[in-house]
Chains A and B, each alone.
Chain A
Amino acid sequence: MSASDLAGSAASNQSAPSIRWGRVAREVLRTVASVLVTILGLLALTFFIGRLLPLDPVLAILGDDASQEAYDRMVVQLGLDKPLWQQFLTYVVNSLQFDFGTSLTSGKPVTEDILRVFPATLELATVAMILGTGLGIPLGVIAAANRDTWIDQVVRVLSLIGYSAPIFWLGLLGLTVFYAGLGWVGGPGRIDILYQYDLTPRTGLYLIDSALAGRWDIFADVFSRIVLPASILAYGAMAYISRMTRSFMLEQFSQEYIVAARAKGASRTQMIWSHAFPNIAVQLVTVVALSYAFLLEGAVLTETVFAWPGFGRYLTTALLRADMNAVLGCTLVVGLIFITLNLLCDIFYRAFDPRTR
């Protein structure tokens, strides 16, 4: 849902005027200003949510049994006795330096935790992205080329199922069938625990690390584990990408140059792949990039089911454990990623889209 909204915003910039440098400078300034305002708003929102949470961070540190004196002491220590605006100010200043405080549940700085868990999610999302794009784009093109035929309908239903199924439910079903039943894929978790300490992390992406180390046995293990969660995540991304591709292609088909090309006797395949497709490439890059954001959301539930030690699971655990610093840090990071992706797409769009040049 969110990813398509972002795509919508990128698409709404299609009509940007042709480049004139003075205007560019002004626009860049305006964009920077608006991003800054958004980030400040983001900070305010996370702070506000954090204060609203009926979770007691003091209790989370001290334990259920703590005495009232110890409790009061900790309130002061955490700065929770200061006026709200002061707390907010501290929060903003610290956050801008990527200091989100110490996680109550891991005892480490939240930033360190996020850096530790992020590669797991990145690897999962990337594999999912490759699968989703590899399937989604061809399916979308095929559907568009065969518009309103049974092929179109089949692609439509197949991809809409990807939109419609509760992702955690697919995960559980997948594990039951492919791991427990058929034994085709590896179990929950990212890597066999016994391998984990044989592997020196270089990139944090285990597929690459194991390949670099030449440990193909580890590579096989990691691969067998990532296949299922990535496929399930990819399903949603594939649905989105194929729907968007279809829509972009249909738009191209209605353009005059295609009609003209057809009149000149270009073959169907030629028309689709050498004429129409290159023209939607820029739009597609945007869609694919924004799908990453979509995957981040899917990761929250998928990682819970697959015991995947990534960002999504870190966030849900923190939420359930009243780990306020971690919750706020994570939401903020997600927000920043969204804003950055959105901004990058915007810039990319303006720079490369043939129609805006």
Chain B
Amino acid sequence: MKKHANFLRCVAAAVALGAVPALAETPADTLLMARNIDAISTFDPAQIGEVVTNEMIQNICDSLVSIDPEDEASVVPAMAKDWTVSDDGLKITFNLVEGATFPSGNPVTAKDVVWSMQRVLKLGFGNAATLTEYGFSEETAETDFVALDDYTFEMNLSRPYPIALILQAVASNRVANVLDSEFLKGEEVDGDYANKYLTTNSACVGPFALRQWNAGEVVILEANENYYGPAPKLKRIIIRHVAEAQAQRLLLEQGDIDVARDLGAEDLRDLKENPDLEVVSTPLHQLYYMGFDSAKPEFADDRVRLAFKYLVDYDALADTVMAFLGVPRASVVPLGALGALDEEEGQPFSLDLDKAKELLTEAGYGDGFSARLFVGTLPYVAPIAQHVQENAAKVGIDLQIEQMANAQLFSAFRGRDFDTIMLSWQTSVPHAHGMLSRHAVNPDNSDEAGLTMFPTWRASWYNEDFNKRVDEALFEKDEAKQIEMYKQLQLDHMMHGPFAYMFQLLDTAVLGSSVTTWKWNAFRVYYADIEKG
């Protein structure tokens, strides 16, 4: 990419003993990526909760299995070269790759897998829910995860969950990242399972290693030369923190970076016209939705929540504010997941003020009411919120928007301290159960239960029937029948569920001409496969 003649740089260089100014072209063996990495707070796989860090840790630490780059719905071997399932479907035996070594020189063994997975349960961060959801628990951890010998690891299930789901949700997840237990035991402080050490370091095997993280500045990953798998194409991946989308765009256009990750709809529209750059997108299994506090009388009525689904001009927003960033989706299950409704069935709503008014009148709120609407700070959030607000006003509902930092937004939602709220939810499995298990199931709605990991609980929404049907569908062995059950669940959830889903989000990046290969899907970005020309 051509570099602007840099006037001041030249002047300064000339002053400085006439030294030749450096070429600012990015080096061929290094990928320079601009991204807002403010959200990163740790590199401990047991603690990571952010999308941004998750993407990186998947390239730093291998799990038992990985997601197939060519088909996000299937898994491929990683630290486990193969696996077998017992006849009763309650035991998965993984055979590990032999000869892989950690950076410390320790060999990778089944003991490390056991230690790493038990550690997640014992630490009890949010990620423990990934395991507890499938019946693993701190109390049973010793028998849930067992090392038969150095290269054989056994996972014991409490119920015959679909194996494909366990592989996707657990074995490929960061909770199954294999950590160097021997080495990390030496880094423990006050029985923290090396949590403090892993906050800023990595001790695992993957195509890249974490070389440096300066909060709010940069993350540098370096290729692992002893990697047991195919060697990464590039030597270094540098992810530089650039919070402003505008600054990212400028850097990219000037050729100072190779990839920009957080651009807005208008910039993307512009850049699409630039022949030097390439705009690439992949749908995420992430939904942007509006939540309602069902403990409040007005939102306890299904018809009121349903009315909100008629207050959004989905297509107009998709063409403007959400262009490149999301597609309309009203079903709880994202497109691409097993059992998902198709595009049309999954989005039957459109802007219809009369219909909304009718539903509100039926529910006894023909005169409207007023409520607060909490939203976060992402660029597209404010326009969507204002759009809904204006349409709501037309049917008598007075919404007062309050914009807040994400940390605050989550606090309010978890604390059941909101009226209505807009946020997004991402699932890590391409399976209807991934969403339904949290968005339709609520085991116990009481305040004391404190089931904060269930958005249903946060919204004080409880439905016995859904609890039962989601469980039945999960254990249905006949796949055709199972898919039918999931479809019906989605349709019912659309009418009676706690949330109004609006968009399935897309991940969109812009690549400079230097980048020749960029590989990603809904769940991963494959840094090792990125190539520059």
Q: Check if A47 is an interface residue, CB within 8 A of chain B.
A: no
Chain A residue contacts of B7, Cβ below 8 A: 182-185
The residue of chain A having its C-beta at the shortest distance from the C-beta of B458 within the complex is A64
Interface centre among A61, A73, A106, A186 (most CB of B within 10 A): A106
Count A-B contacts at CB 8 Å: 199
A137 to chain B, nearest CB (A): 24
Chain A residue contacts of B240, Cβ below 8 A: 189, 193
Chain B residue contacts of A320, Cβ below 8 A: 38, 377, 405-407
Q: Check if B246 is an interface residue, CB within 8 A of chain A.
A: yes
Q: Check if B47 is an interface residue, CB within 8 A of chain A.
A: yes
Cβ contact within 8 Å between B49 and A65 = yes
Chain A residue contacts of B408, Cβ below 8 A: 54-55, 322
Chain A residue contacts of B378, Cβ below 8 A: none
- CA gap between A66 and B220 in the complex, in Å: 29
B482 to chain A, nearest CB (A): 26
Cβ contact within 8 Å between B452 and A188 = no
Cβ contact within 8 Å between A188 and B247 = yes
Interface size (B, Cβ < 8 Å)? 69
Q: Check if B19 is an interface residue, CB within 8 A of chain A.
A: yes
Q: Digit string of B213-234 for contact with A (CB within 8 Å is 1, else 0)? A: 0111110100000000000000
Cβ contact within 8 Å between B128 and A107 = no
Cβ contact within 8 Å between A64 and B24 = no
Cβ contact within 8 Å between A188 and B242 = yes
- CA gap between A60 and B407 in the complex, in Å: 7
Which of B125, B132, B238, B247 lies in contact with A62, CB distance below 8 A? Answer: B125
Q: Check if A162 is an interface residue, CB within 8 A of chain B.
A: no
Q: Check if A321 is an interface residue, CB within 8 A of chain B.
A: yes
Cβ contact within 8 Å between A63 and B19 = no
Cβ contact within 8 Å between B414 and A59 = yes
Interface size (A, Cβ < 8 Å)? 65
Chain B residue contacts of A56, Cβ below 8 A: 407, 410-411
Q: Check if B163 is an interface residue, CB within 8 A of chain A.
A: no
Q: Check if B93 is an interface residue, CB within 8 A of chain A.
A: no
Q: Check if A23 is an interface residue, CB within 8 A of chain B.
A: no
Cβ contact within 8 Å between A216 and B17 = yes
A215 to chain B, nearest CB (A): 9
A9 to chain B, nearest CB (A): 35
Cβ contact within 8 Å between B250 and A107 = no
- CA gap between A16 and B533 in the complex, in Å: 72
- CA gap between A218 and B19 in the complex, in Å: 10
Q: Check if B16 is an interface residue, CB within 8 A of chain A.
A: yes
Given known A220-B9, A307-B242, contact A62–B126 (CB-CB < 8 A)? yes
Q: Digit string of B1-44 for contact with A (CB within 8 Å is 1, else 0)? A: 00011111110110011011110101100101000001111100
Cβ contact within 8 Å between B405 and A55 = yes
Q: Check if B293 is an interface residue, CB within 8 A of chain A.
A: no
Q: Digit string of B277-313 for contact with A (CB within 8 Å is 1, else 0)? A: 0000000000000000000000000000000000000
Stretch at the interface among A221-229, A252-260, A291-299, A345-353: A221-229
Residues 64-96 (chain A) with a chain B CB within 8 angstroms: 64-71, 73
- CA gap between A59 and B246 in the complex, in Å: 31
Q: Check if B160 is an interface residue, CB within 8 A of chain A.
A: no
The residue of chain A having its C-beta at the shortest distance from the C-beta of B10 within the complex is A220
- CA gap between A68 and B132 in the complex, in Å: 13
- CA gap between A348 and B411 in the complex, in Å: 49
Stretch at the interface among A172-180, A268-276, A333-341: A172-180
Q: Check if B127 is an interface residue, CB within 8 A of chain A.
A: yes
Cβ contact within 8 Å between A113 and B49 = no
Given known A66-B452, A180-B254, contact A187–B38 (CB-CB < 8 A)? no
Given known A105-B41, A183-B254, A194-B30, contact A67–B452 (CB-CB < 8 A)? yes
Query: What is the predominant secondary structure among interface residues of chain A facing chain B?
Result: helix
Given known A65-B126, A66-B453, A67-B453, contact A59–B407 (CB-CB < 8 A)? yes
Cβ contact within 8 Å between A107 and B244 = no
Given known A105-B41, A107-B200, A320-B407, contact A187–B216 (CB-CB < 8 A)? no
Q: Check if B199 is an interface residue, CB within 8 A of chain A.
A: yes
Stretch at the interface among A24-32, A121-129, A309-317: A309-317
Q: Check if B262 is an interface residue, CB within 8 A of chain A.
A: no
Cβ contact within 8 Å between A321 and B41 = yes
- CA gap between A14 and B91 in the complex, in Å: 84
Q: Check if B251 is an interface residue, CB within 8 A of chain A.
A: yes
The residue of chain B having its C-beta at the shortest distance from the C-beta of A215 within the complex is B19
Cβ contact within 8 Å between A224 and B9 = yes
Given known A60-B41, A66-B124, A187-B256, contact A307–B12 (CB-CB < 8 A)? no
Residues 151-200 (chain A) with a chain B CB within 8 angstroms: 172, 175-176, 179-180, 182-189, 192-197
Q: Digit string of B366-379 for contact with A (CB within 8 Å is 1, else 0)? A: 00000000000100
Chain B residue contacts of A309, Cβ below 8 A: 214, 216-217, 241
Q: Check if B235 is an interface residue, CB within 8 A of chain A.
A: no
Chain A residue contacts of B200, Cβ below 8 A: 106-108
Chain A residue contacts of B41, Cβ below 8 A: 60-61, 104-107, 321
Residues 401-443 (chain B) with a chain A CB within 8 angstroms: 405-408, 410-411, 414
Q: Check if A240 is an interface residue, CB within 8 A of chain B.
A: no
Q: Digit string of A30-50 for contact with B (CB within 8 Å is 1, else 0)? A: 000000000000000000000
Chain B residue contacts of A116, Cβ below 8 A: 214
Q: Check if B243 is an interface residue, CB within 8 A of chain A.
A: yes
Which of B12, B217, B250 lies in contact with A220, CB distance below 8 A? Answer: B12
Cβ contact within 8 Å between A307 and B126 = no
Chain A residue contacts of B19, Cβ below 8 A: 216-217, 220
List 25 contacting pairs A-B, 8 Å CB cutoff, sorted by A: A56-B411, A59-B414, A63-B47, A63-B125, A63-B126, A64-B414, A65-B452, A67-B453, A106-B216, A107-B41, A180-B254, A183-B254, A184-B7, A188-B250, A194-B27, A216-B17, A217-B22, A219-B12, A221-B9, A223-B9, A224-B6, A224-B12, A306-B247, A313-B216, A317-B216
Given contacts A61-B41, A189-B240, 8 further A-B contacts (CB under 8 A): A66-B453, A105-B215, A107-B199, A216-B16, A314-B216, A317-B215, A320-B38, A322-B411
Ranked nearest first, the 5 interchain pairs of A and B with the lowest CB-CB distance are A65-B126, A63-B126, A107-B199, A183-B4, A106-B215
